[in-house]
Structure 1
């Protein structure tokens, strides 16, 4: 450890970059691996869980760490790219110690763990956890209950017992700036118990975003541990096509029960998607593209596509239709691409800018034909229209990719040989 920095609180190294001696970035710290020891001996810090290219997680032994300073971790440069697998004797500090309720020795007062500090032993490369930052009372990191204090590891007890009902506030605060896909990766690597606790602590919108990025098995597991009313709320917050994909994997009775608990308008969209073949334009589409009437202006269109909740693919174009404006719409008139909106005056009517040459697709179009369409015309989304000419939705390129990649692509990181080439190490 660098001089003048004898101790580091682990929350301060969450997400920091890991560099080799040449200054090349290897990845980012996602967790700290420790081994609890008997008696009052401080836990030994075994290493770091480092996320490298395409969210692959590897183990970096502390013997390979030469410095923790200025918001970065320096390694010897020798990194084993084998995927990290937690052993039964190992404890993940972020995932399993944060928010744990323990007791102060001597008083039996219950406190909540907010952070721990690690220190390097003199003249050695061994590290250990030496202090614990706690809050008195039962409140988590985001609740104002009791004072905070830092105590020696030996001054607390209760880490060795598996806790039921462990909070998740501190862990969520640590990862609050992560993108949904990255937070999903964090959840995927937690134990089922901890995963359920973190999912329960997320708000509906955040959990919906994260569920959309998780492997199917994790989605089903998390949804199954939520109360049915909340599960329905989360499904409503998901994109309808993602909600339909998830519900289609559930038993018929459970799917129908959740659909009944959803708001009728939200459930109607999902039911419509479930009526189509999964690998067809109807089964792939989202029912919430940007729809405008022909008398809307360019200014109106730009205001709609500025919505931060829209994916880049959906924001790339707007669909001009006769009323009603929600799918299924009135007669579909054409598409206006985002670049065209940028080239015309704000007062221009979108009805005069529509591209009518690119034909929409019927809902029974197979996946292969949808893929060819997107590739042929260099599009990121394609409108789906029924026999009567009403817009039903739009298929985006990310929806197509989800079904072109292997079923386990979310769990399989890019690594040597994945595409017949070596991928350089780098930040996720």
Structure 2
């Protein structure tokens, strides 16, 4: 509990699991910066010196599961902070090490801390094994050597952290830029996973990834899209369950065509009971046989007011003087229709609410300063400071408004390219049979 405000710590007496005498349990609700609230629990026994800590998520189960794949290539990677819920599966592929779900309490630690704890736990019974199970002793001894070999100055191994609750995280020390060694993949839970987590399947489907992701979109901009390109007769209404209060509501959908682009599907939900609103924009039509990259040099207010349609398959970069200030990975902001200015505001909101460990109690001074500088620079871009926006969509479902049509746009370059086999595989196109 070191480093937290002691005034906010709740203390209760509880029985020690080792000596069965009274010890002291301390509990503190902590907002992990750019992640969510967690409850840190620490127990100390003054009689037998038993000590243990655990972390439990205080927030609700997320709309999607999370899979993190980390390539550990340097000693600094061992110090990455990790939030691992009790429902998460942790693996180190090269040594075939695995911590299954629901066998350990949640942890807020580092990668090195997880490995050291595993080594300590395995070593604990080695003296007994040496006497009563020598073959098992030798096998575990060989495995321990492999585990110790991970903690070198030049490590080279792969970590997978998979959590169906979405309540686990691995630190990105490069935030807000993309981490070259870390891949985060959100995924829809299976029915079996929902049942194992005790979730109601009908409710879970109402909170599907698309609907939940849409909650962070610019609602006013999406409604504006419907007003600009549709008429009332084009709107379809379907009964739906509110993902916030689970009461019945109406999901409105329409198909419209954006000039000089393609057809898009607009979905909007508003709950009259609790006021919850969500919007989502999806592109219709067939999948393009190429990717499209928009490079916009934003120079003035006209450029800030350009319409932007970013699909959930697109990534984005905000660049100044050739240096990437912020990288937005595929799926991070979901699908949205907004303006360049609105996109910058969405990125600022994302930096302030999603990416972990960049400010607050769990961050050092350098990380905090870095994040404040990025947020301040984004504010200057919104105020008119020039920058470059790159939106890259491998299936060409994104669009940046060309305000000079039919003349060439002096501020924007549009590039088309052939997708790589790896991109086709990530998009699931290699598995399609038509």
TM-score above 0.5: no
When you count helix as a share of all residues, which structure comes out higher? 1
Shorter chain as normaliser: what TM range?
under 0.3
> Normalized against structure 1, the TM-score is what?
0.26
More contact order relative to length (CA 8 Å, sep ≥ 6) = 2
